[in-house]
Structure 1
Amino acid sequence: MIEIMGQSYGVTVGSDIQRDGMYLEVEDNAKAVLAEVFYSDGENSMTFTSYRHDLPLPLVEWLIAYAKERLTPTSGNGS
């Protein structure tokens, strides 16, 4: 759960085998998915998808920054 501009949002991080990657979704209080950032393992790239046209910019900025931190593989992690 994250709070931005007085509004609470749910955050889900998951793996998508069919698309070969990881995703980060943000949802409203009604559990409707508002936006997604997807990291493709095969293409080594990220995409942003918004399911609403009026998302607060601070939410979008936070989502992108958090996705870069959480979804991007790191090298030298000992595995």
Structure 2
Amino acid sequence: MAEKFRMENGLLLSDTTMVEFADGCADAGTFVPGTHEAGEVVPCPGCDGEHRIASVLQVEVAHNITVTKAEPADDDEPGT
């Protein structure tokens, strides 16, 4: 499955679906490129088989974000 990319507000986005399979792999929270619905059969990213989708969560993935510095959380600062 080829990902389809688009630009929105300077972000390079693609649609991805987080799925739980009804049969086959017990891989919970697997991401499958594209937009899918419960009941569809899709190729499994974790094995060579195909599985029926039990539930889905549609998400958009931004591909052109780079984290250059992580700010510490308030409880991680020394002396507090």
Q: TM-score, normalised by structure 2?
A: 0.25
Structure with the bigger percentage of helix: 1
Structure of greater relative contact order (alpha carbons < 8 Å, 6+ residues apart): 2
Q: TM-score, normalised by structure 1?
A: 0.26
Q: Rg bigger for which structure?
A: 2
